[in-house]
Amino acid sequence: MRKILILMMAVLIAVPALAGGHKTESGWFDMENCAFCKNLTVDPGLLPHTTWETHAIDAGMMQVMTVDPAYAEAMATAGRAMQDLGMKIQSGEVNPMGLKMCGHCMEFGQLMMAGVHAETVSGKAAEVTLFTSDDPALVTRLQAMAARDTKEMELMMAGHGQDEAHPHGQEHPH
């Protein structure tokens, strides 16, 4: 159960906050069709009021997320929907092979099932999650995922003005 909850939180943190065009050409992010990510688009104001950063660290990757307090309940609702789906997968009620998932969610699920450790610190200003491993192969995969998340977010942002994507003037991860 803990791994499913961490996966759901990672989806919340990692997806880009765009007003439109919630998909990358590669399919790494696909919030229009991904069974998990589509929950983040139910409230059209949620993603433009969410910021995140993803960084490679020595033992894996770190993700930082903020949500405008006015959208905290919308984020909680999206999180519950993703958690419910994760629980159905874990219980066997839903076969994940029958779900459409974006590349990010598939890779992240595989990493968590491979034994990646997750530690979250929730503060007043942000939520920080460290995804780490003692296994050098998993560390390499986590670091590659951090780089790909950042690259794919930048590609998705192409054509979307900074002000449109982040009304509060906050930047995407670099």
Domain ranges of the chain: 2-158
Task: Compare 93 and 165 and report the one with higher pLDDT.
Answer: 93
Angle at alpha carbon of residue 32, lines to 139 and 170, rounded to 5°:
65
pLDDT at 49 > cutoff 50: yes
pLDDT at 89 > cutoff 80: yes
Q: 83 CB contacts (<8 Å, ≥6 apart)?
A: 4, 5, 8
Beta bridge partners of 131: 61, 118
Residue 39, both tokens: 């929950």
Task: Compare 96 and 14 and report the one with higher pLDDT.
Answer: 96
The pLDDT of residue 21 is 60
